[in-house]
Structure 1
Amino acid sequence: MSIEYFIKANEILEKIATTQEENIKKAAEIMAESISKGNLVHLFGSGHSVIPLLEIFPRYGGFVGFHPLMDPRLMWFNVIGAGGARELLWIERQEGYIKNFLQSYDLKSDDVMVVYSHGGLNAAPVETAIYAKERGLKVIAVTSGENYKKAKATHSSGKKLGDLADILIDNCVPLEDALVEIEGYPQKVGAGSTLAVIYITQAFATETAKLLQKKGYKLSIFVSPNVIGIPPENNDEVYRRYTELIKKNNIII
Structure 2
Amino acid sequence: MTELFAFETYLEKINNILNKIKNEQKENILKASEVMANCIENGGIVHLFGSGHSVLPVLDAFPRYGSFLGFNPLTDPRLMWFSPTGPASAPGLLLIERKEGYVVDGFLRYQPIGKGDVLIVYSHGGINAAPVEAAIYGKKIGATVIAILSMENQTFAKPTHSTGKKLSDIADIVIDNCVPPEDAVVPLEGRSEKIAASSTIAAIAVTMCLVAETGTILNEKGKDLKIFVSPNVAGFGVNYNIKIFDEHQKMICNHQKKIQKE
TM norm structure 1: 0.97
State the identity %. 53
TM-superposed CA distance for 1:231, in Å, is 5.5
Q: Which residue of 2 aligns with 1:132?
A: 138
Q: Which residue of 2 aligns with 1:196?
A: 202
Unaligned runs of 5+ in 1: none
What CA distance in whole angstroms lies between the structure 1 residues aligned with 2:245 and 2:168? 34
SS at match of 1:169: strand
Q: Which residue of 2 aligns with 1:164?
A: 170
What CA distance in whole angstroms lies between the structure 1 residues aligned with 2:41 and 2:75? 24
2:254 corresponds to 1:226: no
CA shift digits 1:68-91 (9 cap, x unpaired): 000000000101021111110111
Whether contact under 8 Å (1:38, 1:245) holds in the other structure is no
Q: Which residue of 1 aligns with 2:104?
A: 99
Q: How does 1:1-253 map to 2 (within 5 A)?
A: 1-2=3-4, 3-100=8-105, 101-230=107-236, 233-250=239-256
Structure 1 232/191 Cα, relative in aligned 2: closer, same or farther at 3 Å? closer
Amino acid across the alignment from 1:229: G
TM-superposed CA distance for 1:106, in Å, is 3.3
What CA distance in whole angstroms lies between the structure 1 residues aligned with 2:192 and 2:85? 25
User: Which 4+ runs in 1 deviate beyond 4 A?
Assistant: none
Unaligned runs of 5+ in 2: 258-262
Whether contact under 8 Å (2:112, 2:252) holds in the other structure is no
TM-superposed CA distance for 1:229, in Å, is 2.5
Amino acid across the alignment from 1:72: P
SS at match of 1:53: helix
Q: Give the superposed CA RMSD.
A: 1.3
What CA distance in whole angstroms lies between the structure 1 residues aligned with 2:242 and 2:184? 40
Whether contact under 8 Å (2:149, 2:177) holds in the other structure is yes
TM norm structure 2: 0.93
